[in-house]
Structure 1
Amino acid sequence: MENFSLLHPTNSNASYRTLNKEALNDLSVDYICDALTKEQYERNSIKQLLINITDDEEVIKYRCDVFEDFLRFPKLRDDLSALLVKLNDLREIERFQKDTEASSLWQLVNRLREMDGYVDCITRIKNTLETIEVKSQGLLELKKNVQSIYNDSGFPKLKKDIIDTLAKAQKLKSITLGVNLDDLLRPKSVGVISLNDKEFTDSGILKRFMKFTNRDSELHHGNDVSGFLSFHPSNPSTSQFGLGQFVVGAQQDVNHTMNSSLTGADPMSDALKNVVTDILRRTVNDIKSMLNRYVNVNGYSFVSLMPEIIFYIRFAELCDKMKKKNLPLCKAEVLPKEDRNCCLRDVYNLKLGIKSANGENLDIVTNDIDFNNDRRIYILTGPNRGGKTTITQAVGLAFLLAQNGIYVPATQMKFSPCDSIFTHFPADENDTVDLGRLGEESKRLAEIFSSASRYSLLLLNESLATTNVAEGLYIARDVVKSMRYLGTRAIFNTHMHDLARNLDEVNTTVKGDSKIESLVTGVENGQRSFKVFIAPPQGVSYAKDIAEKYGVTFDKIKKQIDRQRIAAPGSGR
């Protein structure tokens, strides 16, 4: 179990790359994590797993199959959700075990809790996996592991030992102590007389002590304490846990704890602590010896699975909500990385799916996108607010989800994994103070090309959209040529329609195997359709459609003016 993971096959040598902060922001990763859970620990765990991606085909297939089992079996999710509470306890216990200052008593209690929690976790997982027909390699291996642990680790005997030990511990309710005093009535040594199965019933020890000092006749002769029934109150923070065996007779010298020769210092507490700790340590060691018979039993491996289980459960819950809204979702089919291909059918933006699942009334438009030998780089043009950013982000999220094994918002996705996703969206104005917007955007583009490869996915959104179109267009053309030469997959959405013209010339003159294609967002009857299709840039065609729809063409305005003049003669030329 030590090296087992639900995220990759055992002994996998896959490499991972972490998305940069720009990609995290441009793909709205925080928005997605917030939609999955309100628990901060869970959000952080999911985010860390989501943003570290691999292009290893076997790892991605492994994850896709595991997630499919989580999605297919609500019972699996329900049972493991209940198990998360136990796993969280084990995680907290693991943290405490690292505290070297923890008392022996606490170490014992937490060891027993850990062992009991571990047995319960193994039993629950075993029972769950034996009642459902999981198919993924990951969950079948987990099932085999827990069955082996359950059958080979003596669980029935272990459970009985834990129960017996806890039963002994719960019997201890109080400790009877004997304190030796010097001539000045200062405590010089202390010992434990007995460990008792009843709590203290009288807290009047100070009153009795004062009576003893004032009335000689009530001073007890000798050291036989069998007749005393009064005890100092037990420490409420420890009495509830108790110990195992009974130990008597231990004694601790307290002279070295004195801080004052006469008054002021009270060494009693330290002395008692030292004595009790010493006794408890021996008691704990005896019990630990019993537990050490199960040296191969360790719950920490299951604690490490906690973030992975949360990851799959929360995404499966989201997919269920989206399915109830009749939104398409599909398991991605992994193609060879070397092909650098992708076939997306009816893809839509995950953010829109989340909003719809949460009750917003949206008319979600889906689209088809292909990356292959005929086209790997798209120059996407169209009207403002026509869906260019939405579809650009949708493609990036589809890759991100697929490479994490999560179902994709589409009816079909066949894809070659990318080694990383690089984004170039408009920068915050605060980030452009030193270099200016054009300088800052150029700097970020240079950084992308220094890290990207032919297996990367590049998403550019209104990049180089400066007030001086000529400057932006000049740099943008070189960026497009560079993407072709690199051989990457990319979408460059822009309002610079001239960038999408004469692409045949670029494809011919620049060496590379990523062909550039013009993609446009559509307009129907003057309305944005949010559909994309391969076509030359529309240029002024959208403005013409809008002008026709609202009657702001010269011909229509002229007719309106002429009608007004006829209706009101003499009103002017």
Structure 2
Amino acid sequence: MDFPSSPDLNHVEAGILDRAASLYPDTFTALTRYRAEHADFVDPVIATFDREVQFYLAYLEYLEPLRSAGLPFCYPVVTDSKAIRATGTFDLALAAKLVRDGMEVVRNDFELSGPERILVVTGPNQGGKTTFARSFGQMHHLAALGLPVPGESARLLHCDRVLTHFEKEEDLQDLRGRLQDDLVRVHAILGEATGASIVILHEIFASTTLQDATVLGRRVLAEIAERDLLCVCVTFVDELASLGEATVSMVSAVDDAGRPTRTYKLSRRPADGMAYAATIAAKYRLSYDLLKERLSR
């Protein structure tokens, strides 16, 4: 006969136990006293471990289908140095969806060394810039928790917090405009950041003119560089990618063989706006190959 393994009693078992207690009151009174006297029997460290190891095992279970699909994970070297790098990394949440759908996961590398502190990411819309920014923050958060991170290898900063600015839906109860909201949020981030913080800025000041976005963006990145903070800045302003030795330009690549397509790969090279130009030209059938094809008819 198979007996249930659950520690909970059903109504029949509870009724039997109540009647046994009425037959042997002294025994059950002593048992109740014993439990009250030893209520703190479990050591707090053991209790904490029991709770936290459940999260760790659940995380490993979450990674299993990704590992089975051939995606790499590693335990990073966590350091107080701001010389960081990662190879073959990717966005964990997006990868889980793509693996379920049987689609390829694109992986990227990054590195900051010497005086480099800020990765300025430019390129066409829907080219992988936002995904890269998320993966950068994810890696540092997961590393701070002591978990394996996406990638073949990684050396990451032991950060105290990850501070982010992503676009959010406007609140009709808030009378601030989009630009003012950006300024308030960025000011709060800089006020909270310490020397060990990670800052991720996504399309700040996109609601204003190019000239104003350039001026404001330069001020913010100069402040970040002055504070020696690690930062990823996703922007449409190419001028922010070459502000000094603290900034490193990364561009979302476009495969322009024939008709330009997004590769979702980011390469370390100067921002030149050509990725935007290529995709816009393709959208309106004004690329060289398409024009040549139309004129030859």
TM-score (norm 2): 0.83
Give the corresponding residue for 2:64: 320
Q: Which one of the candidate residues 516, 524, 530 is aligned to 2:247? A: 516
Task: Please say if residues 523 and 542 of structure 1, whose CA atoms lie closer than 8 Å, have aligned partners that are also in contact.
Answer: no
- Structure 2 CA distance for partners of 1:241 and 1:427, relative to 1, 3 Å: same
**Alignment map for 1:62-77 (pairs within 5 Å):** none
Give the corresponding residue for 2:199: 458
**Alignment map for 1:49-88 (pairs within 5 Å):** none
Which whole-Å deviations, capped at 9, do the CAs of 1:525-558 have from their partners, x for residues lacking one?
A: 2221211122111214542466379751489648
Helix, strand or coil at the partner of 1:430: coil
Which whole-Å deviations, capped at 9, do the CAs of 1:480-536 have from their partners, x for residues lacking one?
A: 1001001000010111122224x23xx4xxxxxxx1121111112222121112211
Task: Please say if residues 244 and 287 of structure 1, whose CA atoms lie closer than 8 Å, have aligned partners that are also in contact.
Answer: no
Q: Distance in 2 between matches of 1:419 and 1:386?
A: 30
Q: Are 2:96 and 1:354 equivalent residues in the alignment?
A: yes
Give the corresponding residue for 2:87: 345
Give the corresponding residue for 2:281: 547
- Structure 2 CA distance for partners of 1:426 and 1:283, relative to 1, 3 Å: same
Which whole-Å deviations, capped at 9, do the CAs of 1:148-194 have from their partners, x for residues lacking one?
A: xxxxxxxxxxxxxxxxxxxxxxxxxxxxxxxxxxxxxxxxxxxxxxx
Moved more, 389-398 or 545-554: 545-554
Task: Please say if residues 378 and 490 of structure 1, whose CA atoms lie closer than 8 Å, have aligned partners that are also in contact.
Answer: yes
Q: CA deviation at 1:309?
A: 2.5
Helix, strand or coil at the partner of 2:265: strand
Helix, strand or coil at the partner of 2:272: coil
Q: CA deviation at 1:307?
A: 2.5
Q: CA deviation at 1:433?
A: 3.9
Which whole-Å deviations, capped at 9, do the CAs of 1:411-468 have from their partners, x for residues lacking one?
A: 0011221111000011211268411000011000000111101211111111111142
Q: Distance in 2 between matches of 1:471 and 1:432?
A: 26
Give the corresponding residue for 1:447: 188
Task: Please say if residues 243 and 283 of structure 1, whose CA atoms lie closer than 8 Å, have aligned partners that are also in contact.
Answer: no
Q: CA deviation at 1:240?
A: 4.0
Task: Please say if residues 431 and 440 of structure 1, whose CA atoms lie closer than 8 Å, have aligned partners that are also in contact.
Answer: no
Q: Which one of the candidate residues 18, 41, 50 is aligned to 1:298? A: 41
Q: Distance in 1 between matches of 2:193 and 2:88?
A: 28
Q: Distance in 1 between matches of 2:292 and 2:82?
A: 55
Aligned-partner residue type, residue 248 of structure 2? E
- Structure 2 CA distance for partners of 1:311 and 1:524, relative to 1, 3 Å: same
Give the corresponding residue for 1:496: 237
Q: Distance in 2 between matches of 1:554 and 1:363?
A: 30
- Structure 2 CA distance for partners of 1:319 and 1:520, relative to 1, 3 Å: same
Q: Are 2:265 and 1:531 equivalent residues in the alignment?
A: yes
Q: Which has the higher strand share?
A: 2
Q: Are 2:111 and 1:367 equivalent residues in the alignment?
A: no
RMSD of Structure 2 on Structure 1 (CA): 3.3
Give the corresponding residue for 1:330: 74
Give the corresponding residue for 2:162: 421
**Alignment map for 1:400-439 (pairs within 5 Å):** 400-430=141-171, 433-439=174-180
Q: Distance in 1 between matches of 2:294 and 2:21?
A: 100
Which whole-Å deviations, capped at 9, do the CAs of 1:44-93 have from their partners, x for residues lacking one?
A: xxxxxxxxxxxxxxxxxxxxxxxxxxxxxxxxxxxxxxx9x66xx6xxxx
Q: Distance in 1 between matches of 2:174 and 2:209?
A: 18
Q: Which one of the candidate residues 211, 224, 228 is aligned to 1:470? A: 211
Helix, strand or coil at the partner of 2:262: strand
Q: Distance in 2 between matches of 1:432 and 1:467?
A: 22
Q: Distance in 2 between matches of 1:439 and 1:400?
A: 29
Q: Indicate the percent of aligned positions where both proteins have the same amino acid.
A: 25
- Structure 2 CA distance for partners of 1:308 and 1:469, relative to 1, 3 Å: same
Q: Distance in 1 between matches of 2:277 and 2:200?
A: 26
Q: Which has the higher helix share?
A: 1
Q: Distance in 2 between matches of 1:287 and 1:387?
A: 63
- Structure 2 CA distance for partners of 1:283 and 1:449, relative to 1, 3 Å: same
Listed as ranges, the gaps of 5+ residues in structure 1 are 1-82, 90-109, 111-235, 248-279, 508-514, 565-573
Helix, strand or coil at the partner of 2:58: helix
Q: Which one of the candidate residues 10, 15, 18 is aligned to 1:241? A: 18
Task: Please say if residues 381 and 520 of structure 1, whose CA atoms lie closer than 8 Å, have aligned partners that are also in contact.
Answer: yes
Q: Distance in 2 between matches of 1:559 and 1:243?
A: 92
Task: Please say if residues 333 and 414 of structure 1, whose CA atoms lie closer than 8 Å, have aligned partners that are also in contact.
Answer: yes
Q: Distance in 1 between matches of 2:285 and 2:23?
A: 97
